[in-house]
Chain A
Amino acid sequence: MPHSASTQPVAITGLGAIGAPGRGVAAIDLALQQGRDGLGTLDLWQTELAAHYPVGQYRGDLAADLALVPGFEATPAHLARLSRSDQLALVATAEAAAQAGLSPADFARTGAGAYLGLSVCGTLASEAEYTSAVMAAKQGSRKRPPPAALFTHEGASSLDALARYFKLNGPTLSFMTACSSGANAIGLAAERIARGQASVMLAGGADSLSRIAYYGFHSLQVVSPDGPRPFDRDRKGMSVGEGAGVVVLESLAHARARGARVLGLVSGYGHSCDAHHLTAPHPQGAGAVAAMRAALQSAGLQAADIGYINAHGTATLDNDRTEARAIAALFGENSVPVSSIKRFFGHTLAAAGAIEAVVCVRALQQQVMPQNLGLRQALDDARLDLVTMPRQAKGMRHVLSNSFGFGGNNAALVFSTGD
């Protein structure tokens, strides 16, 4: 965020993440370091496609994960009222809150709110219940579509769950800009703090796997049978994933006043719309360039100040070509290290930008750039300095993360070291 007299720096004091590589930042650190992808066969429901198209599914026991959250009642009745997306969001948030050292009472006292990016929300349950009701109707049964599934279908369900458990009384909003949702939620929450409208915010994104997303991306013919190979010349598409990423944001002054450890800063946020096509990006990446440029401007930085770019890098033909062109147009060819972590998690949709925010902050903390797993031979649309192995980056102070979504919705975040 621009550090002018009227705004204030935004500190990150807590990180939480969950996804195919595992639960928790430490597990994800290890997977990234070892180059171990989280892809596998879908087993959340039965489908003929599962054998052919891997997914980034979280394999842990969410009920057990939630039982570890202090004070959380992980009873079957309580869990039944939470969608899988809600549960992923709660687990990630609990980790972030614990690292920040903030209890529900602290959140209530500070008037904290939460902005979450979501897209499929509780669809995993609602689509199954609807399908069941349709099939029953075809067979002459009068089975009714259950209302509970429709109500957890809404994005607000995750926010209401967070508000109840973490005692939030500030604004709790879900931002639904498809695959840029998580990044937009973090950027907008950071702006709220920068403007002095909040001291503490939870921000991030969450999405579970769902039939709609899995069959939908398959219908668009952008799903790869051998997993995503971002920026590879022979890439065949993406893998759908699930997960959540959450950060605790505070004004730097608030964080310092309470002696919190500052893990990094949200220093810039840019946003744009292609206004071009419902799914295809602008061919020259005009919107992507605009979002990245706005993020740099917001951070008060030049392109040369960025030490690493965490790309959207879905491994679809269109995304990687246009993103590579956009990066080259703004930063120059081979000028800044770039990687996509989509092969580790799959494309976690609304959670992607939030999980990648967590990974970016860890990259700054560890001074190591994560690798672009799956790359065999780089695309030739633009020459990028692709990070093929974890790379040391001593002195790296600023990184940029891209997230792009349906409708040409583009978000870019800049993170900086907290020192």
Chain B
Amino acid sequence: MSVIVSGIGVISALGGNAHAFGESMAQGISGCALHNFTRLDGSVVSAPAYVAVNADPQGLIEPRKLRRMFRLARMAAVCARQALQMAGRDPAAMDPARIGVVFGTSFGALEITQKFIDSYIENGDGHASPLNFMNSVHGILASQIAMDIQATGVNLTISQRDISFEAALAQGMAALESGKVDLVLVGGADEITPLMHEVCSHVLMVSLDPNDARGLDPAASRSTLIPGDGAAVVVLERQGKALARLQGTGVGRHDGGGPDVALSLHGALGQPALDLVTNGRDGFVRSAAVYDQREYLWAAKGVNCVSHRGNFGTWATAGAMQFVANVLMLANRQYFAPLAAGQPAAVGKTPAVILHDAASTSGVHAAYVLTAE
């Protein structure tokens, strides 16, 4: 059974909604810029990053609801409302038990977790911040969305490094297929905090070169990535007005000697002619090695592979941005040329069938196939 994508919400370095994101993708605008990151020792490093714009809740969420939400939760909650609005769905008019929320996040509430630890370092073990504690759990994003829209159905949070969003997508699709829900919000969100940036820079994972502020060239870089953050939420339903159709998903591992997840999914769907394969190539040396093999495989089948990390950056759930980009390409009947160091790469054909091939350096692997309606 396939399901439809009927709404999308997105907040990234490319803007605060799907329209801004789509326009930037179509025009080849990079979200990369120099940002200041304060180190634990108080020094400040200026480094390239794709940092998401602030969430604008106007007309979507009452300000009082946002007061107790931290940055990532605000982004997630606003994205959920954006996606519902685009889908033309009012959760208040639906059976709350038939609405689900499935979220993928690798590090979850990292900023607030750090603040919680700071609270007991500063105030003593017996005087930690209860508010920061309750907001520090990974499930907070899905919980905040559920409370905002009063969704009492399936509510899951999945954390599995670089495929956290894709795994959430698979679980959301399964919730629809099983008949547990009629509508499911599937999201992905992670944040780049100064601490995360500091740690990643110590292991030479992220670029500190100011010249890289023009943006990543995912295909050319074989050393560091350029980090970013953001949130995206999509509405999945069994039927309705579709932006695109999700034909199937697959989740497994590529390090265990089992069947290839992407090829198996492609085969299970009857090997539809693919116009485009998207992936998570992010310029980091270890993932470059993984994607060299993956792209060789697809090239042998004559399929073009692209990564849009040069447009919106890299973080564990950046796959959610790629999903939104893929939906928009299919919905708008256009091809988003990936950026290479701020410049559009070669022009490709407008896709009608896209396979996403996400292979993490940790060994986990996910895939999905999206088609135009």
Interfacial residues, chain A to chain B (CB-CB below 8 A): 47-49, 108, 111, 113, 118-119, 127, 130-131, 133-135, 137, 140-142, 144-147, 150, 153-156, 159-160, 163-164, 167-178, 184, 188, 191, 195, 211-212, 215-221, 271-279, 286-287, 290, 405-409
Q: Does the CB pair A176–B137 fall under 8 Å?
A: yes
Q: How large is the interface on B (under 10, 10 to 19, 20 to 34, 35 or more residues)?
A: 35 or more
Partner of A272, one of B120, B153, B157: B153
The complex places the Cα of A271 from the Cα of B126 at a distance, in Å, of: 34
Residues of B near A49 (CB, < 8 A) are 125-126
6 other contacts beyond A175-B156, A215-B133, with CB at 8 A cut-off?
A: A130-B117, A134-B121, A156-B362, A169-B253, A273-B155, A275-B146
Question: Does B85 touch A at the CB level, under 8 Å?
Answer: no
The complex places the Cα of A209 from the Cα of B184 at a distance, in Å, of: 34
Partner of B258, one of A147, A170, A191, A277: A170
Centre residue among A108, A135, A170, A173 by max chain B CB count within 10 A: A173
Residues of A near B152 (CB, < 8 A) are 272-275, 286-287, 290
Q: Does the CB pair A156–B40 fall under 8 Å?
A: no
Residues of B near A127 (CB, < 8 A) are 117
Closest to B122 in A: A134
| Closest Cβ–Cβ distance, residue B368 to chain A (whole Å) | 13
| Closest Cβ–Cβ distance, residue A104 to chain B (whole Å) | 10
Q: Does the CB pair A147–B203 fall under 8 Å?
A: yes
Pick out which of these stretches binds chain A: B20-28, B108-116, B344-352. Answer: B108-116
Interfacial residues, chain B to chain A (CB-CB below 8 A): 39-42, 96-97, 101, 106-108, 113-114, 116-118, 120-121, 124-130, 133-140, 142-144, 146-147, 149-161, 167, 170-171, 174, 178, 180, 195-196, 198-200, 202-203, 251-253, 255-259, 362-364
> With contacts A174-B159, A271-B154 known, is A144 near B113, CB below 8 A?
no
Q: Does the CB pair B171–A188 fall under 8 Å?
A: yes
Q: Does the CB pair A407–B137 fall under 8 Å?
A: yes
The complex places the Cα of A297 from the Cα of B337 at a distance, in Å, of: 50
Partner of B137, one of A168, A178, A290: A178
Q: Does the CB pair B159–A279 fall under 8 Å?
A: no
Q: Does the CB pair B161–A216 fall under 8 Å?
A: no
> With contacts A169-B258, A216-B116, A219-B130 known, is A119 near B137, CB below 8 A?
yes
| Closest Cβ–Cβ distance, residue A6 to chain B (whole Å) | 10
| Closest Cβ–Cβ distance, residue A300 to chain B (whole Å) | 15
Q: Does the CB pair A177–B156 fall under 8 Å?
A: yes
The complex places the Cα of A175 from the Cα of B180 at a distance, in Å, of: 18
The complex places the Cα of A218 from the Cα of B130 at a distance, in Å, of: 8
Residues of A near B130 (CB, < 8 A) are 216, 219-221
Q: Does the CB pair A178–B258 fall under 8 Å?
A: no
Q: Does the CB pair A409–B143 fall under 8 Å?
A: yes
| Closest Cβ–Cβ distance, residue A274 to chain B (whole Å) | 7
> With contacts A119-B138, A153-B107 known, is A108 near B97, CB below 8 A?
no
Residues of A near B156 (CB, < 8 A) are 175, 177, 184, 188
Q: Does the CB pair B203–A212 fall under 8 Å?
A: no
The complex places the Cα of A278 from the Cα of B196 at a distance, in Å, of: 26
Closest to A131 in B: B121
> With contacts A130-B114, A212-B113 known, is A272 near B97, CB below 8 A?
yes
Closest to B108 in A: A176
Closest to A53 in B: B126
Q: Does the CB pair B160–A407 fall under 8 Å?
A: no
Q: Does the CB pair B174–A169 fall under 8 Å?
A: no
Closest to B40 in A: A137
> With contacts A49-B125, A130-B117, A147-B203 known, is A273 near B101, CB below 8 A?
yes
Q: Does the CB pair B167–A173 fall under 8 Å?
A: yes
Q: Does the CB pair B134–A211 fall under 8 Å?
A: no
> With contacts A111-B259, A219-B128 known, is A156 near B138, CB below 8 A?
no
Residues of B near A145 (CB, < 8 A) are 40, 195, 198-199, 202
Partner of B363, one of A160, A188, A220, A409: A160
The 8 nearest A-B residue pairs measured at CB: A407-B143, A169-B258, A169-B256, A216-B133, A273-B155, A176-B138, A219-B130, A171-B251
